[in-house]
Chain A
C-alpha cells in the first residue's frame, strides 16, 4: 500500500469508525440486561442531530469554552495518526512518539477541564477536579505500559513497538500484565464503569458528563465525537497489544477495536461503579500492574 493511500485509509478509519464503538457497547449492555437496545448507528444519528442544532452559551463563558472541544477533538485525531492502523508505519511515526501520544491526550484534557471551569458552575468544577485527580494517576500507568512494550520490543515509536511485538511470543507475563494495566487505563481514560458511569443522570456523581453540562449543539457534537475517537484509539492500541500482527491490517485492526468494545460492554454489564475513594486505589493498582509488567519485561531481557 502506498503511503498516500495508507494515509487515506487511516484517516477514513479514524473518522468514520469511532461512533460505532459506543453504539456497540450500548448494544452489548442492552442484550446483557435483556433489552433489545438502540440501533448500532444511534451515535451517528445523535451526532448528526447535534450538528444541526443551534447552541446556548452561558453568559459567563469566554473563548476557552469553545476552544476546549475543538482542541480536544484535534488532539485525539492526531493521537490516532500515531497508530499504525493502515500501514506498518503510522503517518506521523517517529522515535519517541509514545510521549507525544500521551501528551496529546493530556492537552485535550487540559483544555476540556478549563472549558468546564469556564462556566463557573460548581458541578462542572467538581467534575473537572475529579477528572484532574484521576488522569494524574492514569497517566503514569499508561506510560508504564508503553515503557514495558518499548523494552519488550526494543523500539521507541508506537509503530515500531506494535510491529516488533508481532515477532515476539503472544503470551509472556510482561505482555499479559501490560495488557491488563492498559485495560484499566482504557476504562479510566474513557470514563467507563467502574470509574465513571456514562449513563448516570445525577450531576453529583458525574465526571466526564459533568464537565460538559453546559455544552450544546456543534460543541457537544465535537465532544461526543472526540470521546468516541479516544475510545477507538485506546481500544485499537489494546487490541494490537493483545493480538500480534494487527498492525497495518486495517480490517483486522478495526475488528480488534470492536472486540475490545464488546468486552468493555461486558465489563460494564457485570460490574458496578466504584465509590469515588476506591477509584484512586483502582488506578494506583493499574500503575502497580504496569510496574510489575515492566519488571517482567526487564527480567525477560536478562536485567536484574
Chain B
C-alpha cells in the first residue's frame, strides 16, 4: 500500500513538474513513467499475494476520514490503470510537439493518478472525489485541441453525459449509505445484502450510472465523439482504461449487494449483447479510423458485460465453474482490451500525424512506409477480432466456455438456457469485427496510397513505436501463456464469485494447457511452410509485375476497392437494424452527367437517447420562466431559499 502511495505522489509530482516546467517536459514525463512502473509493480505484487490492505487518512468533517484500500479487485484494476497509463505516457513522449507537451503530460499524469484513486477508494466520498477529478482532467484532455469546433462539441456532450451518470452514482451511494448508516465501503459490506427490492434498485441505479462511463449501448453516445477528438495518447488512455472504471464501479457495487439473482444477469446479457452488436455494426460503417476504434470500445465493453452477466447467472444457479470462467473472462477481457485498444489507438494516432489523415479513403500502402506501425497494428487487429494466437482469443474463449457450461447445466436441470444465446451472438460479433479490421488494415495499410499525403507517410517516432511494441508484446504474451495471465484475474474473479479459486477445475486447466500447445504448433507450421516456400523458390524465376487487373494494366490507386465498398455487403443484411438514410441519384439518359449514391448510417441508440432528452427538456421548459436574467431576481431566490430553510429548521 505504501508503494501505491509512492506511485500516487510520483504521479502528482509528475503533473506538477510538467505543469511548471512547460519548456522542459522531460522531468514530468520521467516522474510519471516512474509512477506508472511503481504503481503497476505494487498492484501486481498485491494481486499475486492476494493481499487486502487499507489505510485511513483522518480528515476533518463533514464526512469523516478518507479511506483507501486494495483488495484483489482493486489491485487488478490498479495494474490495468498503470500499465496502460504508462504505455500512453511513453507514447505521448513522441506524440506531442515540445510546446504543448507540458500541459498534456500534466493532465495525463493527474488523470492516471485520479483513476488509481478511484480504484483504491474505500468510501463513497473518496471515490467520488477521484471520479470527478478523473472526469475533469479527461475533459480537459478531450478538449485539448480547443480551437477545433468538433472537439468543443465533443467536450460538451461528454460533460453532459458524465454528469448525468454521476448523479445516478450519487443516488446509488445515498441508497447504500442509508442502508448501512455509513459512507465507508466496508460498512456497506458489513451491513449485509439490502432487502430484495432495495438491492435491485441499487443494481439498476449502478448499471444506469456506470453504463454511461463504460460506454454501454444506448448511453454510449459521448464515446464516439470524445475519443476521436482527444489527442491519440489520450484516446488510448480513455478507451483503454478510463471507460473500464465504469465496469469497476459496477463490479464494486455487486460486492455490496450480496448474491445476485438471475434477473440481473439477464439484464446484463441483454445490454451487453446489444452493445456488442450495435458497436461492431456502427464501427463497420465508420471511415474515420479513431471513430471506428471508439465504436469497437462499445463492442468490447459489451463483451465484458456478457461475461459478467454469465457469471451472475452462474452464481444464481450455484455453478462455480460457470461463475469463475465468466468473471475471469470478463476481467481478462478488460485487461486485454486495454492493451490492444491502446495499441490500435496509438497506431491510429501515428497514421493520423504521419500520413496526414485518419480518413480510410485517403490512406493506403502504409505498411511499406510505416512497416513497424503497420505490423503492430495487424497484431492489435487480430487480437481485437478474438483470433488465436493472441490475447483476445483467450478471454473470449473463457466467456464462450462460461456461456456453454451454463447452458448445458441448465439443460441438465431442465431450466431455461438463456446463456446459450451468447454463443452465436459472440460468433456473429467476432465475424463482423474480423470483417471490420480486415477492412481497416487492408484499406489503410495495404495496396497503393490513395493520396499524396499517404504516399509521403513516414514511420512513427521512437517512443511511439516503443509504446506500441510493448503493448503488442503483452498481447502476444497473454495469448501464448494464458495460464500465467489467468493468475492475474484469479483473485478478483474468486472474490466476486464468493467462492475459492477453482484450481481443481481440470477441464479449464486442460484447455489452458492445450491452447499454448496449439499456438506453438500453429507458429511452427507457419514458419515451416514459409521456409518450404523459400526453399522451393530458390533458383527459380521469381518475377515482379503490376497487379493483375484482368488485362487492364493502367490501373490507378483510385481504382482500388474502397472502405465503403468493402463495408457495404457486410452491413447489407443488418440495414433493418440501423437507421440508414440513402441519397441516390441514378444516371439518366444516354449521356449521363451526374450520379451519386450516398448512405448515412445513423445510430438508433443515439436517436433514442436524443428523444428522451428532448422529452425531458420539453417537460422542464416551464422552469425557464425562473431564469429571467436580472441579478436582483437571483438574490431574491437566495433570500427565499434561506427563509425557507430557516422556517424548516425553526420548529425543531
Which A residues have a C-beta under 8 Å from some C-beta of B? 51-62, 64, 66-67, 69-71, 73-75, 77-78, 81, 92-97, 99-100, 102-104, 106-107, 109-110, 113-114, 116-126, 128-130, 132-133, 135-144, 147, 150-151, 154, 156, 203, 213-214, 217-219, 222, 276-277, 280, 284, 287, 290-291, 294, 297-298, 301-304
Bound state CA distance, A125 and B560, in angstroms? 7
Q: B368 within 8 Å of A by Cβ?
A: yes
Main secondary structure of the interface of B (DSSP, over half): helix
Knowing A96-B511, A118-B442 touch, does A58 contact B542 (C-beta < 8 A)? no
Please indicate the chain B residues that have their CB under 8 angstroms from the CB of A142 in the complex: 427
Once the chains bind, are B431 and A136 in contact (CB under 8 Å)?
yes
Complex contacts, A280 vs chain B, CB 8 Å: 572-573
* B443 beta carbon closer than 8 Å to chain A: yes
Task: Tell me the bound Cα distance from A74 to B407 in angstroms.
Answer: 32
- From the candidates B410, B430, B511, name the one contacting A139 in the complex (CB within 8 A): B430
The CA-CA distance from A52 to B537 in the complex, in Å, is 8
Q: How far is the CB of B201 from chain A (nearest CB, A)?
A: 29
Q: Which residues of A contact B550 (CB under 8 A)?
A: 123, 203
| Docked-complex contact B439 and A132, CB < 8 angstroms | yes
Q: Mark B11-26, 1 if CB is under 8 A from A, else 0.
A: 0000000000000000
Once bound together, how far apart are the Cα atoms of A113 and B365, in whole Å?
A: 16
Q: Are the CB atoms of A58 and B546 closer together than 8 Å?
A: yes
Q: Give bound CA distance, A193 to B396, whole Å.
A: 33
Residues on A with C-beta less than 8 A from B586 are none
- Cα distance A288–B559 in the bound complex, in angstroms: 38
Contacts of B529 in A (CB 8 A): 69-70, 73-74, 222
Assembled-state Cα–Cα distance A62/B370 (Å): 12
A57 to B548, CA, bound (A): 10
Hey, which chain B residues are within 8 Å of A64, CB to CB?
367, 378, 446
Given B432, B443, B560, which contacts A136 in the complex, CB threshold below 8 Å?
B432
User: Contact between B511 and A94 (Cβ–Cβ < 8 Å)?
Assistant: yes
Assuming the contacts A62-B368, A133-B570, asked whether A128 and B438 have C-beta atoms less than 8 A apart, the reply is yes
Complex: A200 Cα to B527 Cα, angstroms: 33
Cβ of B542 and Cβ of A55 under 8 Å apart?
yes
**Can you name 16 extra interface pairs (CB under 8 A) apart from A120-B557, A122-B561, A137-B573?**
A54-B537, A58-B546, A70-B533, A95-B507, A96-B401, A103-B397, A106-B434, A109-B434, A110-B437, A116-B442, A120-B555, A126-B565, A133-B570, A151-B411, A294-B420, A298-B417
Task: Assess whether B414 is in contact with A303, with CB atoms less than 8 Å apart.
Answer: yes
Interface band, chain B: 35 or more
CB of B502 within 8 A of chain A? Answer: no
- Determine if A284 and B405 form an interchain contact, defined as CB atoms under 8 angstroms apart: no
B562's closest neighbor in chain A, by CB?
A: A125
The majority secondary structure among interface residues of chain A is helix
Contact (Cβ within 8 A) B522 A132: no
The answer to whether B518 has its CB under 8 Å from any CB of chain A is yes
Can you sample 29 A-B contacts with CB below 8 Å? A52-B536, A55-B537, A56-B545, A58-B544, A58-B545, A60-B546, A62-B368, A70-B529, A73-B525, A74-B529, A78-B518, A81-B521, A97-B511, A106-B431, A113-B442, A117-B561, A119-B548, A120-B364, A120-B447, A120-B557, A122-B549, A128-B442, A132-B434, A135-B435, A151-B411, A213-B548, A217-B540, A301-B411, A303-B415
A-side contacts of B423, CB under 8 Å: 143-144, 147
Q: Which of A67, A133, A144, A287 is B572 in contact with, Cβ under 8 Å?
A: A133
Given the complex of chains A and B, what is the CA–CA distance between A298 and B547 in angstroms? 52
Check: B566 CB closer than 8 A to any chain A CB. Answer: yes
In the complex, B136 has a CB within 8 A of chain A: no
Asked whether, in the complex, the Cβ of A117 is within 8 Å of the Cβ of B443, the reply is: yes
Report yes or no: A107 in contact with B387, Cβ–Cβ below 8 A: yes
CB-based nearest A residue for B390? A107
Residues of B within 8 A of A104 (CB): 388, 522
Asked whether, in the complex, the Cβ of A147 is within 8 Å of the Cβ of B393, the reply is: no
Using known A-B contacts A94-B511, A136-B570, A217-B537, determine if residue A100 contacts B548 with beta carbons closer than 8 Å: no
1/0 contact trace for B510-539 toward A, CB 8 Å? Answer: 110111011001100110011011001100
For B415, B517, B544, the residue with the greatest tally of chain A CB atoms inside 10 Å of its CB is B544
B496 to nearest A CB, angstroms? 21
Decide if B441 is an interface residue (CB 8 Å cutoff): yes
- Tell me the bound Cα distance from A230 to B378 in angstroms: 24
A114 to B387, CA, bound (A): 14
Q: Number of contacts between A and B (CB, 8 Å)?
A: 291
A117–B540 CA distance with the chains assembled, in angstroms = 26
B517: nearest chain-A partner, CB-CB: A92
From B438, which residue of chain A is reached at the shortest CB distance? Answer: A113
CB distance from A191 to the nearest CB of B (A): 15
A233 smallest CB distance to B (angstroms): 15
- Taking a contact as CB atoms under 8 Å apart, the answer to whether A140 and B573 are in contact is no
A128 touches B386 (CB 8 A): no
CB distance from A48 to the nearest CB of B (A): 12
Query: Closest chain B residue to A301 by CB distance?
Result: B411
Asked if A129 meets B565 with Cβ closer than 8 Å, knowing A151-B408, A218-B533, the reply is: yes
A contact residues around B510 at 8 Å (CB): 94-95
Of all chain A residues, the one with the shortest Cβ separation from B364 is: A120
B61: Cβ under 8 A from any A Cβ: no
| Contact assessment for A100 and B388 in the assembled complex, using a CB-CB cutoff below 8 Å | yes
Determine whether the beta carbon of B568 is less than 8 Å from that of A100. Answer: no
- How distant is B260 from chain A, measured CB to nearest CB, in Å? 22
CB < 8 Å neighbour of A125 from B386, B425, B548, B565: B565
**A121:B518 contact, CB within 8 angstroms:** no
Find the B residue at minimum CB distance from A64: B446
Asked whether A53 and B569 contact (CB < 8 A) given A78-B518, A143-B423, A290-B424, the answer is: no
Q: Is B3 among interface residues, defined by CB-CB distance under 8 A?
A: no
Contact with A along B394-411 (1 / 0, CB 8 A): 001100110011011011
Please measure, in the bound complex, the distance between the C-alpha atom of A35 and the C-alpha atom of B446, giving whole angstroms.
44
Contact status A122-B560, CB under 8 Å: yes
> B88 on the interface (CB 8 Å rule)?
no
Which one of A59, A60, A139, A147 contacts B431 once the chains associate, using CB atoms below 8 Å? A139
The answer to whether B448 has its CB under 8 Å from any CB of chain A is yes
**Shortest distance between the CB of B273 and any CB in chain A (Å):** 13
B541 is an interface residue with CB less than 8 A from chain A: yes
B149 touches A (CB below 8 Å): no
CB atoms of A129 and B446 under 8 A apart: no
Q: How far is the CA of A107 from the CA of B423 in the complex (A)?
A: 18
Closest 3 CB pairs of A and B: A125-B561, A117-B442, A120-B447
Contact A53 B540 (CB under 8 A): yes
B residues less than 8 Å from A222 (CB atoms): 529, 533
CB within 8 A of A118: which of B387, B432, B446?
B446
Q: Is B416 an interface residue (CB 8 A)?
A: yes
Q: Which residue of A lies closest to B432 (CB)?
A: A136
For B541, give its contact among A54, A124, A143, A218 (CB under 8 Å): A54
B592 an interface residue at 8 Å Cβ cutoff? no
Asked if B363 CB lies within 8 Å of chain A CBs, one says no
- Residues on B with C-beta less than 8 A from A203 are 550
**B358 CB to nearest chain A CB (Å):** 19
